């Protein structure tokens, strides 16, 4: 096998990581821009009832990703593993085995979609007319779900060859094109069903681009049902089973709230929740991109028993993650009302207190992401899966218990409490134990330098808010000033040695 077939830039790993992270941020920025434009546009043209119905029904399909069963992440792991050993036969057998499995799961998913589509009136507090419209939405979106399963293999090949940048570029183009089609369909006077059909067609077309890219990255790739191997399925399953539990738990933690709201409160409040969820989800994506590329570093360090490197990953990863999310969380807590009113109008101000509560949750989750990666990549994936599952179940139970009395804020509080408990008292201490690092030292070197500047910025921002009448423009100016103040305080907080270290890394990227 020609070495060119395995080329993925072994040299200059920092540059490769930087390119992958940069394109991930480009994707986040594109999706943020699309969300900022299309959400209020769709609300204005469709109305809260129709938009809420769209989010409620289409949101059902998000949960079908649990059928992935952890094989998506396992695909990346084993492609990378057999790429490292230059074993094309094993790589093709892995890809073909998972392709056959995912194609079957896609068909199963669509059968479930059909069953849900014709029983919406029994699942949610909606009218018969809404149920009929929701049927069409779900049946159309379900096609995208089925295709996504099969074609995920090709994206996994690119990721396994450390070409996240290719996948990210396709995703950016797709997101922008979907937004353009969305706006055009509504401006031309088409209804919700036609809109959903048109945007789904764009997404289906993109899957064939992912397929082409996989063959460009690895020309000897062969994805065929005849290469399905039961032995490969057993090999992959040994890793994927606990990864799937983590995925299911994440659904319980972060994506079932809309279902709880739909069951107890109806479709209209889902639109209000969607505003808050869009902002919080964007914050998480914006601030948590770096941790995705840490997983192979953790695996390598654990394999080599490099405890010092694992300690460095935990300390620096946690500090930088918290420093990234903390100022945004503070801004959302203090400026939630003017930001919501200026973005989608005062009719959606009910989203502001939800944003304020969930800002704490997303800050904890992102700050703890490095600890989670440490546990997952160093042989404690089973422990992490059980913790996440318990957190998810507690989230669902608390949200359902609080929603009737406290409404949307009750659902948000039900999400925050178990996340905070598991992050502070379980996952972070477990990660410290795994890398043989005292918790007090980790708090002092990783958490404190990023936390106290956020407190100072929050108090200053709150003081300014007490003396001014916030508008969207003024709120954005205040947010920018708060961000700059945080950066200055953080640079001061990390100390001289770490400042020199960060400067050296930036210089390495630039040269």
Domain range list for the chain: 1-240, 256-511
Q: Please choose, from the candidates 195, 169, 193, 170, the residue with its C-alpha nearest in 3D space to the C-alpha of residue 180.
A: 195
| Alpha carbon of residue 150 to chain centroid | 21
- Count CB atoms within 10 A of the CB of residue 2: 8
Q: Which tokens is 174 given?
A: 């797709």
- Count CB atoms within 10 A of the CB of residue 115: 9
Q: Please choose, from the candidates 431, 299, 425, 436, the residue with its C-alpha nearest in 3D space to the C-alpha of residue 375.
A: 431
- Cα(145)–Cα(111) distance, integer angstroms: 11
Are 75 and 160 within 8 A, CB to CB? Answer: yes
Dihedral of CA 199/205/209/214: which sign?
A: positive
Are 473 and 448 within 8 A, CB to CB? Answer: no
Which element (helix H / strand E) includes 414? Answer: helix 381-422
Dihedral of CA 160/89/382/379: which sign?
A: negative
The region that residue 228 occupies, defined by phi over 0 for left and psi between -120 and 50 for alpha, beta otherwise, is: beta
Has residue 271 got a pLDDT over 70?
yes
Concatenate the DSSP letters of all residues of 262-311 into one string: HHHH-SHHHHHHHHHHHHHHHHHHHH-SGGGGGHHHHHHHHHTT-HHHHH
- Cα(502)–Cα(508) distance, integer angstroms: 10
CA atoms within 13 A on the CB side of 278: 23
Are 292 and 24 within 8 A, CB to CB? Answer: yes
Whole-number Cα distances in Å, 445 to 215, 290, 505:
45, 19, 19
pLDDT in tens, 74-114: 888 788 778 877 888 999 999 999 999 999 999 998 999 89
Mean pLDDT of the chain: 86
The residues, any chain, with a CB within 8 Å of residue 489's CB and separated by 6 or more, are: 452, 453, 456, 457
143 or 121: which carries more pLDDT confidence? Answer: 143
- Cα(376)–Cα(383) distance, integer angstroms: 9
CA atoms within 13 A on the CB side of 406: 14
Has residue 146 got a pLDDT over 80?
yes
Q: Please choose, from the candidates 389, 251, 382, 366, the residue with its C-alpha nearest in 3D space to the C-alpha of residue 317.
A: 366
pLDDT at position 421: 96
pLDDT at position 180: 93
- Secondary structure E strands in 224-333: none
State the Cα torsion 396-401-407-409 to the nearest 10°: -60
pLDDT in tens, 209-247: 999 999 998 999 999 989 999 999 998 887 788 877 877
* Numbers of helices and strands, H then E, in the chain: 20, 0
Are 302 and 377 within 8 A, CB to CB? Answer: yes
Has residue 396 got a pLDDT over 70?
yes
pLDDT in tens, 242-266: 877 877 777 666 667 888 888 888 8
pLDDT in tens, 305-318: 778 888 988 998 89
> What is the band of 498 on the pLDDT scale with cuts at 50, 70, 90?
confident
- Cα(263)–Cα(253) distance, integer angstroms: 17
Give the burial string for 343-358 (b: 16+ CB within 10 Å, else e). Answer: bbeeebbbbbbbbbbb
pLDDT at position 36: 82
pLDDT at position 361: 94
Instruction: Look up the pTM and report it.
Output: 0.70
Rounded to 10 deg, the angle between the 164-187 and 128-160 helix axes is 150
pLDDT at position 12: 61
- Cα(368)–Cα(419) distance, integer angstroms: 10
pLDDT at position 95: 92
Q: Please choose, from the candidates 390, 391, 396, 437, the residue with its C-alpha nearest in 3D space to the C-alpha of residue 414.
A: 396
Has residue 334 got a pLDDT over 90?
yes
């Amino acid at each position: 096998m020609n070495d060119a077939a395995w080329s993925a830039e072994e040299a200059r790993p920092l540059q490769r990581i930087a390119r992958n992270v940069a394109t991930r941020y480009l994707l986040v920025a594109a999706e943020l821009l699309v969300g900022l434009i299309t959400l209020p546009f769709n609300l204005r043209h469709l109305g809260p009832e129709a938009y809420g119905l769209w989010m409620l029904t289409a949101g059902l399909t998000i949960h079908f990703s649990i059928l992935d069963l952890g094989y998506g992440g396992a695909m990346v792991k084993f492609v990378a593993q057999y790429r490292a050993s230059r074993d094309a036969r094993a790589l093709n057998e892995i890809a073909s085995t998972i392709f056959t499995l995912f194609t079957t799961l896609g068909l199963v998913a669509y059968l479930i979609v059909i069953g849900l589509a014709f029983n919406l009136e029994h699942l949610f507090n909606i009218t018969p007319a809404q149920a009929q419209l929701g049927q069409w939405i779900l049946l159309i979106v379900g096609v995208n779900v089925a295709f996504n399963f099969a074609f995920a293999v090709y994206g996994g090949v690119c990721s396994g060859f450390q070409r996240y940048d290719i996948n990210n570029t396709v995703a950016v183009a797709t997101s922008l094109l979907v937004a353009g089609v969305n706006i055009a369909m509504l401006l031309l006077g088409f209804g919700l069903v036609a809109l959903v059909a048109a945007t789904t067609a764009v997404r289906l077309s993109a899957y064939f681009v992912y397929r082409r890219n996989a063959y460009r990255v690895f020309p000897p790739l062969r994805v065929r049902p005849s290469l399905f191997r039961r032995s490969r399925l057993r090999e992959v399953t040994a890793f994927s089973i606990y990864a799937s539990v983590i995925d299911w738990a994440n659904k319980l933690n972060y994506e079932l709230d809309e279902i709880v709201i739909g069951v107890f409160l109806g479709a209209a409040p889902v639109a209000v929740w969607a505003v808050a969820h869009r902002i919080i989800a964007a914050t998480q994506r914006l601030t948590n991109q770096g941790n995705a590329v840490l997983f192979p570093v953790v695996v390598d360090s654990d394999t080599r028993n490099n405890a010092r490197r694992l300690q460095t990953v935990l300390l620096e990863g946690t500090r930088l993650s918290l420093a990234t999310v903390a100022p945004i969380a503070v801004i959302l807590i203090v400026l939630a009302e003017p930001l919501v009113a200026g973005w989608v109008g005062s009719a959606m101000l009910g989203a502001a207190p939800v944003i304020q509560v969930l800002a704490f949750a997303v800050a904890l989750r992102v700050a703890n992401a490095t600890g989670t990666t440490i546990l997952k990549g160093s042989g404690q994936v089973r422990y992490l899966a059980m913790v996440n599952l318990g957190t998810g179940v507690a989230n669902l139970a608390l949200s359902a218990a609080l929603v009737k009395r406290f409404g949307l804020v009750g659902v948000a509080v039900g999400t925050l409490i178990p996340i905070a408990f598991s992050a502070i008292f379980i996952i972070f201490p477990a990660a410290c134990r795994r890398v043989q690092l005292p918790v007090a030292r980790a708090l002092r070197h990783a958490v404190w330098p990023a936390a106290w500047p956020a407190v100072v910025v929050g108090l200053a921002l709150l003081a300014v808010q007490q003396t001014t009448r916030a508008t969207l423009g003024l709120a954005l100016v205040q947010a920018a000033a708060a961000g700059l103040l945080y950066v200055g305080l953080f640079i001061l907080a990390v100390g001289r040695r770490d400042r020199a270290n960060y400067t050296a890394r930036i210089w390495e990227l630039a040269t």
